Amino acid sequence: MPPAASTNPRRVVLTAVLVICGTINLLVLSNILLRHPFINADFIGFWAYPRFSPLDQIYNPDAMMRFQQNLYPGYKSFFPYTYPPDFLLFCGWMRGVSYNAARAIWLLCGLAVFCAAGWALLRRPVGVLALLASPAALLCIVLGQSSFFISALLLGGLAALPRRPILAGVLFGLLTLKPQMGLLLPLLLLARGEWRAIIAAAFTAALLVGVSCLALPPELWRLWLTSLPQIQRDYFNGGVNLNIMITPAANLVHLGAVPALAMGVQALCTLAAAALTWAAARRGSYAQAVAVLLAAMFLAQPHAYAYDLAALPAALVLGLRGAPLWGQALGGVLYLAPLLLLSPWAGGFVYAPPLALLLGLLCWLALRSQAGAESRHEPVSIAL
């Protein structure tokens, strides 16, 4: 007699969470595309950047604030330009496009490349759904942030690395458009001996800088580098948006710690995240090493927001197979936590401690497995 059919409670809960979150995301996206977009969102910054003049003042926060509020009457927020100069090449196409059309193109293209990169890495519909339905993705949709594009470069490069290292290197080189998101990538590449990817990434990044110097004043690179320390001080000393940041330093300052102490703890977290990424890349399977990297990179950098977590669900999909029930529950909490930012309890959003616990679990799972059990160049394939 065949065994009676049984329903896995964990699968039922997972399906319900993804369906509910996915429905919310789809409704919000439809509302933005069909109705007049919310103008007090971050996208106004991306739309304004290629219109700003004079360029030698683009890293001046006061000048940028005046420009944005004059450009779009009714804009009550402020989105400074903190990206490297070559990011202007990425958003330059919006100069001749209306705000509504530009945001629609931005959202739809971002979702398309994000979905494609997620499929390339995870190869399972439920994995892609976990990426698209996440509350972090919802924040990207609401705010019009760049995280879909940045996450697509990261996930796409990680998907290509085992068999197409040159393509992976090109994508990693383009990731320098938001360089902190690739902070730990060199460790993964060096630990695995991916020299072709390293060379391709370096060449692509250098080419991007060269093109930007031809199209834009080269002086912008000096202005960007000299502006970074002041930008960091302004955020931490002024408490700007710390409640939606996810890094150890930002969480500590948000809880009342002095910035100097917070940055000291951040430095220790960066070193620990780097060591764990190296260890997982040397001893774990490729899927496990990628999961550790995707979790560790948010603890290694001092400046990252909840919407930057768009790539984190891939770490949960790749790394939590075989995890104890409490570990899977932790993954669920981290997946859903950005919803707090859309609730009256937004001030209680402190993400770094549970993320550190997840990183420890992912690294433990990676290091306990038999080294070499999965080929270093075997494509990632996840069975859910």
Read off the pLDDT of residues 43-93 as tens digits, 9 standing for 90 and up. 989 999 999 999 999 999 889 988 988 888 877 777 889 999 999 999 999
Quick check: is 348 in a domain?
A: yes
Domains held by the chain: number: 1
Helix, strand or coil for residue 222?
helix
Quick check: is 384 in a domain?
A: no
Band (377; pLDDT cuts 50, 70, 90): very low
Quick check: is 5 in a domain?
A: no
What gap in Å lies between CA 150 and CA 133, rounded to an integer? Answer: 17
Bond from prior residue into 313 cis (ω within 30 degrees of 0): no
Contacts of 89 (CB under 8 A, 6+ apart): 208, 211, 212, 215, 216
Mean pLDDT estimate for the chain: 89
Give the residue with greater pLDDT, 7 vs 279: 279
**Residue 79: what pLDDT?**
85
**Residue 204: what pLDDT?**
97
pTM: 0.92
The residue among 70, 135, 137 whose CA lies nearest residue 110 is 137
Quick check: is 1 in a domain?
A: no
- Which residue range(s) make up the domain with 195? 20-367
Q: Any idea what the Cα angle at residue 337 is, between residues 316 and 149, rounded to 5°? A: 65
Report whether 246 contacts 355 (CB < 8 A).
yes
Mean pLDDT computed over 345-363:
94
Quick check: is 300 in a domain?
A: yes
**Residue 329: what pLDDT?**
93
99-154 pLDDT, tens digit each = 889 999 999 999 999 999 999 999 999 999 999 999 999 999 999 999 999 999 99
Mean pLDDT computed over 342-350:
88
Quick check: is 56 in a domain?
A: yes
**Residue 313: what pLDDT?**
96
Helix, strand or coil for residue 215?
helix
Quick check: is 2 in a domain?
A: no
Mean pLDDT computed over 305-334:
93
Quick check: is 311 in a domain?
A: yes
Give the residue with greater pLDDT, 321 vs 357: 357
